[in-house]
Amino acid sequence: MISNEKVLILFGTQTGNSEDVADRIGRYLTRMHIKAQVVDINEYAVTNLVNESLVIFVCSTTGNGEFPDNMKLFWNFLLRKNLPNNSLAHLHFSVFGLGDSSYEKFNVVSKKLSKRLLQLGAKEMIPLTLGDDQHELGYDAVLDPWLLNLKNTMKSFFIVSDPPIPEDVPLPPRYRVEFCDKFSSADESQSTTFDRNKSFPLATLKRNERVTADDHFQAVHHLEFEIDSTIHYDPGDVAVVWPENPPEDVEDFLSLLNVPLDTNFILIPSVVNVPLPKINSYPCTVRQCAISYFDILSVPRRSFFEVFHHFSQDELEKEKLVEFTTAAGQEELYDYCNRPRRTILEVLKDFPHTTPHIPFEYLFDVIPSIRPRSFSIASALKAHPQEFHLLVAVVQYKTRLRKPRQGLCSNWLAKLKPGAMIPFSIKKGSIALPETNVPIIMIGPGTGCAPFKAFTEDRAAAAIGDNYLFFGCRYKAKDFLFSETWLELCKKKMLTIFTAFSRDQDDKIYVQHRIAENGPLVWDLIQNKKGVIYVAGNAKQMPQGVKDSFVKIIKKEGNLTEEESLKYLQTLEHMKRYQIETWA
């Protein structure tokens, strides 16, 4: 038994889902009178792991089996060869993974983490659990039974004499809010000044152009930004930007609140060592929060209702909200929120006898923060000094709700006017050019071609040929992205392009068909000339179709069995000669 101890909950995430699950676990333990500390894994000193007794890891898998950005340093430390096999022998742990089974490497990050912790001598409290975003109930499908298992497991570690805090009693908020135009020195010492515009470099929008036909179903924008001469990036790198909520939705949200909108406030954590949120800028006003911090257009998760229902002043509203928090009510919640993609703002308006009564400080518990978005850079510095370009597909679609659903960041970017300045950062992408001048085979349908514009521009500037692009879209006349760039490079003998316009003929033709048609060339490039293959684009069906085409080519041209062909492709992947960058 362990008394007066805490459970540390570390989350690694790119989208916020892991943070949400970690918070739910933390609240669950708090109701059991067990101290729980929820921490971003990037803000945790990994060397302290040797001092921990109980740790729950909640981590997501990104892209093609990649660790989320905030986990990479932590993971690299765990991989150090000088760590003794018994270095974590004192540690009891559980790993709850979040993944998407439509990806080939489903939940591979949580599997690797669990295996490595066991190698270092740690003991598993609850077997590795894998959540699947493709499940109709999402991660809740496995989280509910997992929490019951956790409850029983904790009884063997903690002596808890007090009865659990009832579900109808709200837990204290994460922060206390103090409004004041001028703060005392004591108040200011508890605040952390943060300004995104000062913490990150600024890019100035030079050009914003729609590059698909006006009558095409999908609006795609090509944006050109000017940047400082000191900023460097490589082909394959990614630009990270922070979107803002649309002005009309901000005003809609602010009209629901009963607090001073333009008076500065500070947040005081209710628990020691809880980090302050990175609001732009902070100390700030409620209006600033509504513009750049609260993700009011995201779909609320179950945890939203677990807090929200406590403040309802109407019997019927409360009954419905409580139902959404129960295991039995998850199908109803899915039908209300997830299926139509109903936003937090719309939910707040749907419950007019509850929303006015939720204290402002609890909004930091129920509304997630706006997450930065990452885009492959569609330019090379050699061709465009002091610039980076983005290729953005504007997300907009219909559900049963009257108002069309819109992607927050893509619509924000599409509406930016020349001269607008935005904070950004550069990070390494999951694909990169080879160090030698070997041939490259690029498969990039749709906006997947963005990093390959950077690849070909960079190599063309250095007079490196042997660049082969398989590009696919619906219509040659409507969404042949960067066509002028590709054709100009072809004229200069810097590029060979194979196009698949799927709707320009009766039979649909995709990039995987063009790959299959060029089997002898592809085999020569990868077998004899040691070429590198890159695949970028939507994760749904394209990557698997492309992989199948390569396996068939390897099997036929290399005269190998199916098993040998798969192993050949796996070897290429291991050697970084088959690189994938996909997104949902």
Residue from 490, 564, 584, 476 nearest 213 by CA: 476
Identify which of 7, 11, 52, 47 has the alpha carbon closest to the alpha carbon of residue 31: 7
281 cis-preceded (ω within 30 degrees of 0): yes
Return the number of other C-beta atoms located less than 10 Å from residue 584's C-beta: 12
Helix (H) or strand (E) holding 487: helix 483-491
183 is in an annotated binding site: no
417 is in an annotated binding site: no
116 is in an annotated binding site: no
Q: Known binder of ligand: residue 103?
A: yes
Cβ atoms within 10 Å of 81's Cβ, excluding its own: 4
What totals of helices (H) and strands (E) does the chain contain, helices first? 20, 20
Which residue pairs from 134-137 have beta carbons closer than 8 angstroms and sit at least 24 positions apart in sequence? Answer: 134/100, 134/101, 134/102, 136/331, 136/334, 137/330, 137/331, 137/334
Strand segments, DSSP code E, in 311-367 are none
| Ligand-binding site membership of 425 (annotated) | no
485 is in an annotated binding site: no
| Residue 336, annotated as binding a ligand | no
d(CA 420, CA 576): 38
Nearest to 282 by CA among 298, 269, 293: 293
The letter for the amino acid at 361 is E
Residue 341 marked in a binding site: yes
User: Is residue 65 marked as binding?
Assistant: no
375 assigned ligand-binding residue = yes
Q: How far apart are CA 414 and CA 218, in angstroms?
A: 12
Query: Is 511 among the annotated ligand-binding positions?
Result: yes
* 430 among annotated binding-site residues: no
**Is position 503 annotated in a ligand binding site?**
yes
Task: With CA atoms as reference, report the closest residue to 459 among 434, 484, 483.
Answer: 434
Tell whether residue 99 is among the known ligand binding residues.
yes
E strand spans, 412-531: 421-427, 440-443, 467-473, 496-501
Rounded-to-integer distance, Cα 397 and Cα 218, Å? 10
Give DSSP secondary structure letters for 19-67.
HHHHHHHHHHHHHTT-EEEEEEGGGS-GGGGGG-SEEEEEEE-BTTTBP
Query: What type of residue sits at position 533?
Result: I
Q: Is 153 annotated as a binding residue?
A: no
CA atoms within 13 A on the CB side of 385: 3
Q: Are 372 and 312 in contact (CB under 8 A)?
A: no
Q: Is 295 marked as a binding-site residue? A: no
Is 410 annotated as contributing to ligand binding? yes
Say if residue 510 carries a ligand binding annotation: yes
**Which pair of structure tokens corresponds to residue 190?**
């508890």
Tell me the three state secondary structure of residue 377. coil
133 is annotated as contributing to ligand binding? yes
Residue 178 among known ligand-binding residues: no
Q: Is 373 annotated as a binding residue?
A: yes
User: Annotation-wise, does 388 bind a ligand?
Assistant: no
| Residue 104 labelled as part of a binding site | yes
Does the annotation flag 107 for ligand binding?
yes
Residue 399 assigned ligand-binding role: no
374 in a labelled binding site: yes
For 206-223, what is the HEC assignment? Answer: EEEEECCCCCCCCCEEEE
134 is in an annotated binding site: no
Q: Which residues are annotated as a binding site for FMN?
A: 13-18, 60-63, 98-107, 133
Q: Which residues are annotated as a binding site for FAD?
A: 341, 373-376, 407-410, 583
Q: Which residues are annotated as a binding site for NADP(+)?
A: 447, 502-503, 508-512
Q: Which residues are annotated as a binding site?
A: 13-18, 60-63, 98-107, 133, 341, 373-376, 407-410, 447, 502-503, 508-512, 583
